[in-house]
Amino acid sequence: MTRILSAIMLAALCFMGGCSNTANTGAAPSDVLSLQSGAGNATADGSLRLVKSLPAPAGTRDGAEQLLSANDVLEVNVYNTDSLNRVVQVDSLGLISLPLIGVQTAAGKSVRQLEQELERAYGASYLQSPDITVFLKESASQRVTIDGEVAKAGLYPVAASTTLLDAIALAGGLRDIADQTKVYVFRDVGGTKLVANYNVQHIRSGRLANPRIYGGDVIMVFTSKSRVAMNNLKEALGIAVNASRLAVIP
Q: Is residue 63 part of a domain?
A: no
Would 64 be classed as within a structural domain? no
- Domain stops at, among 85, 104, 138: 138
Average pLDDT (184-189) is 93
Q: Are residues 229 and 219 located together in one domain of the fold? A: no
Q: Are residues 103 and 120 in the same domain?
A: yes
Query: Is the residue at 68 inside a domain?
Result: no
Q: Are residues 206 and 190 in the same domain?
A: yes
pLDDT of residue 175: 94
Which of 138, 155, 187 is a domain's end point? Answer: 138
Q: How confident is the model at residue 246 (pLDDT cuts 50, 70, 90)?
A: low
- Domain carrying residue 206: 27-58+142-223
Average pLDDT value over all residues in the chain? 81
Higher pLDDT, 80 or 247: 80
Which candidate, 10, 66, 49, places its Cα nearest to that of 196?
49
127 lies in the same domain as 196: no
pLDDT reading at 215 higher than 80: yes
- Indicate whether 240 pLDDT > 90: no
Residue count (the chain): 250
| Whether 221 contacts 144, CB under 8 Å | no
Q: Which amino acid is residue 28, in one-letter code? A: A
pLDDT tens, 11-30?
444 444 444 443 344 445 55
In degrees and rounded to multiples of 5, residue 170 shows phi and psi of -60, -35
User: Given 113, 138, 163, which residue is the final one in a domain?
Assistant: 138
Mean pLDDT computed over 58-75: 84
Residue 111, pLDDT > 80, answer: yes
Residues 81 and 132 grouped into a single domain: yes
- State the pLDDT confidence band at 96, using cuts at 50, 70 and 90: very high
pLDDT of residue 229: 67
Residues 236-244: what's their mean pLDDT?
Answer: 57
Q: What percent of the chain has pLDDT over 90?
A: 55
Kindly report whether the global pTM for this prediction surpasses the value 0.85: no
For residue 199, what is the domain's CATH number? 3.10.560.10
Is residue 65 in a domain? no
Q: Tell me the C-alpha distance between 142 and 159, whole Å.
A: 7
Asked if residue 165 and residue 47 are part of one domain, the reply reads yes
pLDDT tens per residue across span 41-52: 444 455 789 999
Residue 215 domain-assigned (yes or no)? yes
Residue with more model confidence, 179 or 41: 179
Shared-domain flag, residues 230 and 184: no
- Indicate whether 185 and 175 sit together in one domain: yes
Same domain membership, residue 236 and residue 175? no
* Any domain includes 111: yes
Dihedral (Cα; 14, 15, 17, 19), 10-degree rounding: 40
Instruction: Tell me what the mean pLDDT of segment 134-138 comes to.
Output: 92
Residue 183 pLDDT exceeds 60: yes
125 and 194 part of one domain: no
Q: In DSSP terms, which residues pair with 135 in a beta bridge?
A: 75
pLDDT at 25: 42
Q: Within this chain, do residues 80 and 120 fall inside the same structural domain, yes or no?
A: yes
Residues 219, 231 share a domain: no
Q: Is residue 179 part of a domain?
A: yes
Q: Report the CATH number that the domain containing residue 119 is assigned in CATH.
A: 3.30.1950.10
Percent of the chain with pLDDT strictly greater than 70: 72
Count of structural domains within the chain: 3
Count the Cβ atoms, other than its own, within 10 Å of residue 86: 14
Query: Does 85 reside within a domain?
Result: yes
